[in-house]
Structure formats: structure tokens, C-alpha cells
Amino acid sequence: MSNRCALYVRVSTDDQRDNGYSIDSQLRMIKEYCEKNDYLIVDVYNDAGHSGKDLMRPEMQRLLKDIKSKKIDKLVAIKVDRLTRNNYDGFWLLNYCEEHDVKIELILEPYDVSTANGEMIFGMNLVFGQRERKEIGARTKRAMEEMALSKIHPSKAPYGYIRNQETGHLEIEPIEAQVVKEIFELCKKRHSTRNIASIMIDNNSYLKQGKWRSDRVYKILTNSIYIGVFEYGKYKRKPQNVLRVNNYCEPIIDEQTWNVTRANLEKNKHSNYGEHIHLFTSIVKCPDCGGILSSTNSFKNSGTEKEKVYYHLTCKNSNCKSKGLHYSSDKIEQKLGRILNELTRYMYDTDNEIIVCNSTKTKEIKDIDNAIKKLKQQEKKLVDLYLSSTLNVEVINHKNEVIKKEIDKLNQKKNKLDPDDDFKDYTVELLKKLDCDYQDDNNILFKNKLGFSFLWDSLNRKTKKELIQRLIASLEITRDKNYNIEIKNIKFTDEFISKSNKEYLNYLNEILNNNEIGIKYKEQVNKPELEKLEQDYFIFSTKKYENNKYSEADLLLYMELIKQHFYHDGIINCPYIEDNNIVDNLLLIPKTIIKI
Amino acid sequence: MLEFKVIQELKPSNEILEIIKSYTYITKNGKVKHLLKTNLQFIEPTEYIITYPTTLTILEYKVNEISNKPFYIKEHNEKYNLKEIKQILIKLSN
């Protein structure tokens, strides 16, 4: 075996603080080791600032590629926890290296991983590494909690306060505190958060950065720090796990104001809040400006019939030429439903294929990237020309300025087209898990020949919204002169991409089972169970129906009940057994009365 | 209808072909297909269908870093790495 070796170093800030293995010290140790053993260093892979919780680190990914392309024979790191802190990943990496004839050498853990004993110690170290990662997390959590209990503010000071640099305690910032008081006073007078935000803008109220917006006002109004109570973990933890520290800092408002504003905030909630569910919140992009469309709805009352709700999407960008135009949510829903139906069917039929996420960069963005790259090369050449004295300084400066302006222009254009460019680059790495041993034993959806479109039609709006939000990251639409809406592009979420076909179909089945409307499927029932069910359900027997045992009036009544309950609280389908044989198929219709 | 565009053909591995050259087999190229109007690409595996001395359908998934076992034998319902698949194929002739 030759001695081409790769150096892998990694440090996360916690490690650096606790163990002192900085990147430099790791590199120094490994280089000394390589020199001593006469290894040829081919490349250094440096994942500074990346956690060892998984292998999705840029340099680790490059290393894996290089291992595969046989560029190296040895992988040297100081300890196994530099490579990974995850058990599963560690063994995977060991297998991967073995398969490509790469030997792992760990300087501070001198054992041969290719032997059975070595592998065992490697495994044990991995377990310790994983435990340490969890401990670091717990330690950080504990330290933050301790800080909170000692009234040392663990993060940035909220609006209205400043954090004392020496003690870490929160102190009132008089100008901001005055604004906070005004906000609470306005809320006391039952002004809405949006209204308060506009008043703040009109008054030109002090704000260090950003703009006065309704959500900012709401955050202030719901932050108990202003009555001196700090809630640590308010947004991330379950309510019962939130750490509440009383007398944390000097209050800005009194408790009475706080209580009155709670009641007002509750009263100010839109009466229809939560009733009208918009399926495409923050997903659909404006065909003209590319901004996210806002959700709106309108109502139609026609005599005695129930109020009909129309859901729309509209662009609120004041510079957009299609500002004020409405895009029908229902039309987008129809088109998307059709696409998801075909895709699900395709995934069900071809379970041996796997999905990878495509680069989401558009051609236009790629062209801009190339143009910027070329300009940067020109910029470099200018320096060379200056050094070789081919051109005089003035000409070089002028040309340099022209290039810089051009780069700025292109960057601006790129940002406009693709504001979350960095995020998109990451998604290219994601792959759908390979899941060959596909079995559809539990697959109610397709086993009963129902398919995705059945599921889609029988979902309530809340579940449908959840499904869309979990599968779709963004939607680009187009609209022609006749107001026909087409879907131009769909970006699926990382969650969808990383789910295997089997996991995806199981997820759909889960939704089908948990759905509050439509048909729910129940395991087989016997006679005593059926007798119990008869108290709460009307029983429709398929066998009786086939033998014409129902009168026409009965049938009409059952059909009407099924129709009503299907879209309200759902009906249940289950087989009926006698002596372990299925003898009938039943539909259970709830006896609850539906108010229309 | 879903529209796909084939962006890459994945040819069978020469190493495997060398081992199975004396067997009766057919191969089917794999494909990387882009599902148009989405950010999805589907990878169709390369297939080696051996009919003699035994019946074996081997699928090869040419993707990096997803699994270190890119081969799948339908009849066994198992995944294998290159070394293992070579051993299985060599055993066939014995």
C-alpha cells in the first residue's frame, strides 16, 4: 500500500473551548505524524466550525469523493470524534474506507481499525463521541439556564433594555422603554398591532434596525420581560418546560397593564382567525416580480345557503405591475393535486428508482455566476499587467473600476433573482434514500386501489395545508390572458427529497388514517364488537345491499348520511368476521347530528 | 403527464461485464432523468439480467455517497457492495 494520505481536521467552537484542539494544533500534530511515518500529504480537508453530528460537511463530502476516486490511501485524523460524533456515520465511514482500500489512522487513538479488536475500540470511541456531543448540548443548555437563573441575560437584549457589558444584567434603555410604554398604552386602548405599527412609523419612533411592523409590535406585546419575568425557551420548548425567572430585571410596565393587554390581544384576534385555512401560505411566487404572494379570501352570501369562501393569492409588492391581481387558490390546488397524483403513482410503480434533488439554480443565475467568474479573472490579470508594467496605473485603475462596477451590477441582479442563493446550493447535496426492499403490506391507499387523488379529495383543508407545506417549498405559476393558471415550476422540500418511496407512501397512509374526514379504515370487527358500535354508528352492509335487502328510501337515506358525514367527520370502512372468515364489508356512519 | 428529460446514460460496469462474459445475460443502461418543471431528478438503475447459469437480476445504482452498497439483487432482496457482488458472480461459474 502506498502512502498517499489525506488530513482531516474539524473543530466546532465548543470543542475548541473545551479541549483545546484547535485547527492549527490538529494540523501540527498530524503533519508531525506524517513526517515521522514518511507519508505523502495529498490534501488537507478542513471543516472548521462544522458539527460532527452528520457527514453533511463540505470538506467531508469532498473527502468522500476523493476516497472514491482513489486519490488517497490513508485518512489521518487526531481522534475519531474529529471524523464523526455519530455511531452510524462512523461505521458507515469505516466500511466506505475499507471498500475503497483506504486505511483510517487516528493519532491519539493508536489502534488498527482493520482488526476486529481495533474495530471494537473504534466503535466504543464512537459511542463516547456521540455521548460527548449530547453532553455538550446538555451542558450548553444547563449553562444558559444557570445564566438565566443568575439573571445574566444569555442573548441579545430585547427592545427597551440594554445588556450591561460587565454584569450581563438587563438595564432599562430610557428612549426605547418610553416607546414600549406607548405600545402597551395603545394596545390598552384596543388598537390592533398593525395600527400600532403604523402609529410607530408616523411618530418615527426609535428603532435601531429594521422597520416597525405588526409582528414586531406583537412580539413586544407578548414578551413578559417587560413585567420583569424572563421566559427562557419560550419559542423552542413545550410550555411546561419553559424556564420562568421572576424579578429578572426592572419592569417597564405594571402587571395591570399587562393583564389588560392580554385580554385586548385576545379580543383583537380576527373573528375568522383559524376558520379560513389558506393552503399556499408563503409558497407561491408572483409571476411578475417573484415575490411571495399573500393569501386573502372573499365571501359570497346567496340567500339561505351557507356562506361560500373564495381563496385567492395576491401580490402586495407596491412596485409590481400585477399588484392587486388575484390568483385563484382553488385553480392552483387543482393543478398541484393532479401533478402530485401522477408523481405518487409514478413513485409507487417504480420503487427501484431513487430521487435526487436537482440544482435549483436557474440558467440565468448560472450565467451570471459565470460572468462574475470571468470578470474576477480579468481583475486578476490586471494585477499581473500592473506588476509586469505593461500598462500604466491610470489605465489599470480605470479598468479596475469598470470591472468592479460590472461585478456589483451582476451581484445585484443575482440577488434580485435569487435572494436565498446560499440555501439553494446546499440542497443539491441531498439525496433520496435508497429503499429497495419495498413491501406494501401496510399500504391501505394503494392496496384498496384508492390512489392519491382519493386521498387529496377527502382531506380537510387543515391536513391538506400540512401536506402541501411538508412537500412543497415553493411554486412558480404563470397566468395567460384568459386567466388560466399553470404551474411553471415546483421546488420540493428537503423533507420530501430525503424520504424514501416507502416512507413517503407510509406518510400518505398515515394521513389517510388520521384524517378527520373521508373514509377511515378499521380492522375487522366481530359480532360483539359490532353490537357495541351500533350504539354510535348506522351500519351499512355491502352484503345486504348486494342482496337487495335495502328499500329505495333506506338507500337514499344512507347515501345522504354518507355524503354529509364524508366531508364532516368521516365514515369508517371495516370487514365483518364470523368464525375467522370475512363475511361482509361494512360502512359505519356516525349517528352525530351535523348542524349546517 | 409527467415529463422527463434524460440527462445522462449510465453504462454497465466493465468490471462486472468482465466477470459475466461467459454467462448468458443482457444489460440495460441506467438513466438520470430530470422531471421537468421540478427540482427532482430520478436515477434509473443499470440492469444486468443474467439468464444462465442461473437467473439473476442485478440493479446497480450509480450514485455517490448515498450508500456503500450500490448493487441490489432482486431475487435475494438484498443490497451488496462491489466486492460482494463480484464474489457472488464468480461463485456462479463454480
Supply the DSSP string of chain B, one letter for each residue.
---EEEEEEEPPPHHHHHHTTTSEEEEE-EEEEEETTBTEEEEEPEEEEEEESS-EEEEE---SSS-S--EEETTTTEEE-HHHHHHHHHHHH-
> Do A331 and A485 contact (CB within 8 A), yes or no?
yes
Return d(Cα B35, Cα A353) in angstroms, integer: 13
Q: What is the mean pLDDT of chain B?
A: 81
Q: Is B87 on the interface with A (CB under 8 A)?
A: no
What grid cell was written down for A71?
486519490
* CB pairs A-B closer than 8 Å: 84
Q: Please tell me chain A's helix, strand, coil percentages from 3-state DSSP, rounded to the nearest 5.
A: 50, 20, 35
pLDDT confidence of residue A407: 84
Q: Which strand ranges, in their side-by-side order, compose the sheet holding B56-60?
A: B24-28, B46-52, B56-60, B71-73, B78-80
Residue A365 with chain B: CB contacts under 8 Å = none
Q: Give the pLDDT score at A523.
A: 66
Residue A9 backbone dihedrals phi, psi, to 5 degrees: -130, 145
pLDDT of amino acid B63 = 60
Residue B73 has pLDDT above 70, yes or no: yes
pLDDT at A596: 44
Per-residue pLDDT at A427: 33
Instruction: Phi first, then psi: give them for residue A189, nearest 5 degrees.
Output: -85, 15
Contact call for B39 and A68, based on CB within 8 A: no
- CB contacts of B64 in chain A (<8 Å) are 64-65, 68
pLDDT of residue A18: 52
- Which three three-digit cell numbers place residue A561? 348520511
Please check the confidence at residue B64 and state whether its pLDDT lies above 50.
Answer: no
Contacts of A485 in chain B (CB under 8 A): none
pLDDT digits (tens, 9 = 90+) for A57-80: 888 888 887 887 877 888 889 878
What is the structure's pLDDT at A426? 28
CB of A437 within 8 Å of any CB in chain B? yes
Query: Which of B38, B43, B83 is the closest to A490 by Cβ?
Result: B38
- The yes-or-no verdict on residue B56 having pLDDT over 80 is yes
H or E stretch at A494: helix A494-498
Q: B64 and B54 in contact (C-beta within 8 Å)?
A: no
The secondary element (H helix, E strand) that includes residue A576 is strand A571-578
Q: Mean pLDDT in runs of 10 for chain A (596 residues)?
A: 78 58 78 79 82 79 82 84 77 79 81 72 72 71 79 84 83 86 84 84 77 82 88 73 81 84 72 66 85 80 62 82 82 87 81 60 66 77 69 73 80 63 36 51 60 79 82 86 82 76 77 67 78 83 82 81 72 81 83 63
Which among A55, A358, A487 is the nearest to B40, CB-wise? A358
Q: Is A497 on the interface with B (CB under 8 A)?
A: yes
Distance (Å) from the alpha carbon of B52 to chain A's nearest alpha carbon:
24
The average pLDDT across B35-58 equals 85
Task: Note whether A70 contacts B: Cβ–Cβ < 8 A.
Answer: no
Over 80: is that where the pLDDT of B88 sits? yes
Mean pLDDT on B1-11 = 81
Restricting to A residues 29-68, those with a Cβ less than 8 Å away from any Cβ of B are 55, 61, 64-65, 68
**Which secondary-structure segment (H or E) carries A47?**
strand A40-48
Q: What is the pLDDT of residue A423?
A: 30
Report the residue of chain B nearest A497, measured CA to CA: B40
pLDDT at A149: 82
Question: A329: number of CA atoms within 13 Å, CB side?
Answer: 24
Q: What is the grid cell recorded at A444?
A: 391501505
Does B60 score more than 50 pLDDT?
yes
State the Cα–Cα distance between residues A172 and B70, nearest whole angstrom: 62
Count of residues in chain A: 596
**Closest CA–CA distance from residue A83 to any residue of chain B (Å):** 16
